[in-house]
Chains A and B, each alone.
Chain A
């Protein structure tokens, strides 16, 4: 998706200024440049986090692409990418001429399932501790597996959806 698609959100709003910003979003994005997390992912996480905490509810509007760009000085395609990712996850939907809106809440995991997951996690932690891993060792292991897990999952879904091969050497 190319730059300029922000036009589909606010058709005809060519002027770079508006006295007010029109309907505003409940949330504002922030950027942590030193976190090492890619920018678009930071935006995705912030939306999910806001959903989790209740700042965003279904029907709320997300900030317009050009407003995010103007306040954070980031590439418009990055914002678009984040919004696409959220759309793929089924969390948001874009309405041409109106904006981007929250579609659904994060899938709530049922309480019994959550309790079950917690119990097996505690068991695993005990095993790791016995094996000799300390706290940061455990955290590193978990982080690396988490990353690989989602990378594989998003990689396969991307290939499934577009059918193209990535990258090269």
Chain B
């Protein structure tokens, strides 16, 4: 089952096109990270997935075929938006009661136990909690609904390192215990490798690449060799290059059985390095079909 499936998805706000022709199939049982620069369309994609916006073109279905925003989708998907919106003048207990009323399924004992474990007083107004506590409260409310998919929009952006760690630990533990699939947008590249096993990269409203992290890493190498041959290198599609006067590094896409040309040394790529390379090359993409390069800046992509 694909938790999110899109085909040629597009979204325009008036004259501005926020998403172009996005096609994705995120399988269940993964923690998927959505990465891209500001304005790439990550929030737009997430808003569409949870039903807060409707597509302008293309198709979108969630949880194995339901329309985003439909009753089944609302029941099965829990969303924690940026800045973890809570009703600031309601207490934590009130928020629990509220969420219980608004949902078919709500595990109140889990939620209360979790708040106790976190040391969040039930009677305190949500606005008076610290940033980390607010985020944990919002997450608790979401997880207590036992959703099939948890969607998080830059959840840890405003949190200090410990709060961030605890937040992600909660998310991942829920994935381990409950089998919740997770889709989160993130800027924190350093944590990607630890946390994500599915990666989606976006730039300028398009999908640059999407796939299981293991597959993506296996399909890329950094080739180190002489700068003189770097520009003319065409054995493999080059995503990004760094050149010194004599020595150059090329981040290329390879197949597992590919031979490395003589004179070049191959190194495996880490997820952070891969993500950075694609972020630096907004025109690069790794999607099925011919590699497209649109005019979004310097690109090293060759066919």
Cα A169 to Cα B176 in complex, Å, equals 31
B30 touches A71 (CB 8 A): no
Complex Cα–Cα for A95 and B71 (A):
40
Of chain B, the residue at the smallest CB distance from A6 is: B176
Q: Which residue of B lies closest to A68 (CB)?
A: B176
Closest CB-CB distance, B145 to chain A, in whole Å?
15
Interface size in chain B (residues, C-beta < 8 A) = 42
Is B160's CB within 8 Å of the partner chain A?
no
User: A69-B176, A73-B165, A167-B256 known; A17 and B117 CB under 8 Å?
Assistant: yes
Which chain B residues border A155 with CB–CB below 8 Å? Answer: 256
B113 lies within 8 A of A3 (CB): no
B 164-177 to A, binary, CB cutoff 8 A, 1 in contact else 0: 01101100111111
For residue A89, give the distance in angstroms from its CB to the closest CB of chain B: 19
Write out the residue numbers on chain B whose beta carbons fall within 8 Å of the beta carbon of A3: 29-31, 175-176, 179-181
A-facing residues in B216-245 (Cβ within 8 Å): 218-219, 236-237
The answer to whether A167 and B175 touch (CB under 8 A), given A16-B110, A75-B31, is no
The one of A4, A73, A169 in contact with B168, judged by C-beta atoms closer than 8 angstroms, is A73
By a CB distance below 8 angstroms, the chain B residues around A121 are none
The contact size tier of chain A is 35 or more
Docked pose: A32 CA to B237 CA in angstroms: 32
In the complex, which of the residues B113, B237, B257, B270 contacts A16, with contact meaning CB atoms closer than 8 Å? B113
Q: Judging by beta carbons under 8 Å apart, are B215 and A6 in contact?
A: no
CA–CA, A53 to B165, complex, Å? 30
B113–A74 touching, CB < 8 Å: no
A15 and B169: CB pair below 8 A? no
Interface residues in B160-216 by Cβ distance below 8 A to A read 165-166, 168-169, 172-181, 190, 193-197, 215
Partner of A169 from the list B110, B180, B236 (CB cut-off 8 Å) is B236
Residues of A within 8 A of B174 (CB): 16
Interface of A: prevailing SS: loop
Closest chain A residue, CB of each to CB of B168: A73
Tell me whether B175 and A4 are in contact (CB under 8 A). Answer: yes
Smallest CB-CB separation from B31: which chain A residue? Answer: A75
CA distance A31 to B180 in the complex (A): 24
Q: Give the tally of cross-chain contacts (CB within 8 A).
A: 114
For B165, what are the chain A residues with a Cβ–Cβ distance below 8 Å? 73
A31 touches B194 (CB 8 A): yes
Q: Check A69 against B219 for contact (C-beta < 8 Å).
A: no
Contact indicator per residue, chain B 263-296, by CB within 8 Å of chain A (1) or not (0):
0010010100000000000000010000000000
Q: Contacts A73-B194, A73-B195, A78-B194 known; A66 to B173 CB distance under 8 Å?
A: yes
Interface string of A59-86 (1 = CB under 8 A from B): 0000001100111111111100000000
- A168 on the B face (CB < 8 A): yes
Decide: A73 and B110 in contact? CB cutoff 8 A.
no
Q: Is B254 an interface residue (CB 8 A)?
A: yes
Residues of B within 8 A of A20 (CB): none
Q: Cα distance A7–B29 when bound, in Å? A: 13
| Contact residues in B for A167 (Cβ distance below 8 Å) | 215, 218-219, 254-256
Is there contact, CB below 8 Å, between B215 and A166? yes
Q: Can you list 22 A-B pairs with a CB-CB distance of less than 8 A?
A: A2-B28, A2-B29, A3-B31, A7-B177, A14-B178, A16-B173, A17-B117, A38-B270, A39-B193, A65-B176, A73-B168, A73-B172, A73-B195, A75-B194, A77-B31, A77-B197, A144-B265, A151-B268, A167-B218, A168-B255, A169-B236, A169-B255
- What is A's interface to B at a CB cutoff of 8 Å? 2-4, 6-7, 14-17, 31, 33, 36, 38-39, 65-66, 69-78, 144, 147, 151, 155, 165-169
Chain B residues near A (Cβ < 8 Å):
28-31, 110, 113-114, 117, 165-166, 168-169, 172-181, 190, 193-197, 215, 218-219, 236-237, 253-257, 265, 268, 270, 286
Given A2-B179, A166-B215, 13 other A-B contacts at CB below 8 A? Answer: A2-B29, A6-B177, A16-B174, A17-B113, A38-B270, A69-B175, A72-B194, A75-B175, A151-B268, A165-B255, A165-B257, A166-B219, A168-B253
